[in-house]
Amino acid sequence: MNTEPELLRKPLKDEIFEILHKRIVAGKYAPGEWLRQEEIASQLGVSMTPVREALDLLVSAGLAEREPFRGVRVRQLSPAEIVEAYSMRLLLESAAARLAAASITQEQVEALCQVLNQMEGMVTLNEMHSLRLLNREFHLQVVAAAGSSLLSRIYNTVANAFPDWMLYEAMFRYPELLDSSLRKEHDEHRLILEALAAHDPEAAARHTLEHIQNLGKDLHNFLGIPSQEIQAKEQALAQMLLVGRIKFLAQG
């Protein structure tokens, strides 16, 4: 029986939720795979009740979906849902970076630097579990630095709908692109961090937009999401932001 030590610190359902969340993000459970209560309870050495409660939390967080009379499985995202999550990341993360640049503390900058340093050089299959979790942690910390708990909660839901685990897995089907893709990602994170540390809202927002847009290209290159659908969302979002800015400036 494999009892994981994390189960000693928090309410049991929350601990199990975090473990399952990490497994999904790390790709240990594939999209569409069933999450069997009995199997999970046996692996963790717990009863069925907290596992069932943890699965409910996964459904609420958007990582899993419940099929009546069948159970709970990892969410299988459609191309339309993936593009929607991508567009929301463009909107929320650029706004968060802009806000964070104005108020980020030295302690928060150092925490982001630590995450980024841990990610550097991770390119092997055995390192993908840690890399995925650290990548998500970097983005969550940037959003948290914006200082809005509501924004953080909304972003967390959006992040759960974005198939970052699918992207990392797909990269290994293109080994000739893996190293360059991961190093590019690291360089983009570094530019975001430098803009935040310099308290430069415009640069932070710009580098964040460029980084997420490159993820949009990865959605096409690695997951086969039609580029025209991605570009249509980008154009609609750009037009919406432009109109909103013009109206705001006119009111000012």
**Domain at 48, CATH number:** 1.10.10.10
The reported pLDDT for the residue numbered 3 is 47
31 in Cβ contact with 166 (< 8 Å)? yes
What CATH number corresponds to the domain at position 125? 1.20.120.530
Domain count, the chain: 2
d(CA 160, CA 22): 11
The reported pLDDT for the residue numbered 113 is 97
Same domain, 129 and 153: yes
CA–CA distance from 100 to each of 108, 158, 212 (Å)? 10, 19, 17
According to DSSP, residue 29 is labeled S
Report the predicted TM-score, pTM, of the whole model to 2 decimal places: 0.79
Same domain, 104 and 229: yes
**Pick from 37, 59, 74: which residue ends a domain?**
74
1 in Cβ contact with 42 (< 8 Å)? yes
Same domain, 243 and 156: yes
Same domain, 171 and 238: yes
**Pick from 44, 74, 104: which residue ends a domain?**
74
Range of the domain at 34: 5-74
Match 């009863």 to its residue by tokens: 47
Same domain, 168 and 190: yes
d(CA 62, CA 146): 23
Same domain, 187 and 63: no
d(CA 226, CA 159): 20
Same domain, 199 and 103: yes
Same domain, 49 and 109: no
Report the 10 Å Cβ neighbour count for 5: 6
**Pick from 74, 99, 115: which residue ends a domain?**
74
Same domain, 16 and 105: no
115 in Cβ contact with 131 (< 8 Å)? no
Same domain, 97 and 20: no
Same domain, 196 and 122: yes
Burial per residue of 174-198, b for 16 or more beta-carbon CB atoms within 10 angstroms, e otherwise: eeeebeebbeebbebbebbbebbbe
Q: pLDDT truncated to tens, each residue of the chain (252 aa)?
A: 444 544 456 789 999 998 998 888 777 888 899 999 999 999 999 999 999 999 999 998 778 999 998 999 998 888 999 999 999 999 999 999 999 999 999 999 999 999 999 998 887 766 776 788 899 999 999 999 999 999 999 999 898 888 887 787 777 777 777 778 888 999 999 999 999 999 999 999 999 999 999 999 999 988 899 999 999 988 888 877 765 555 545 555
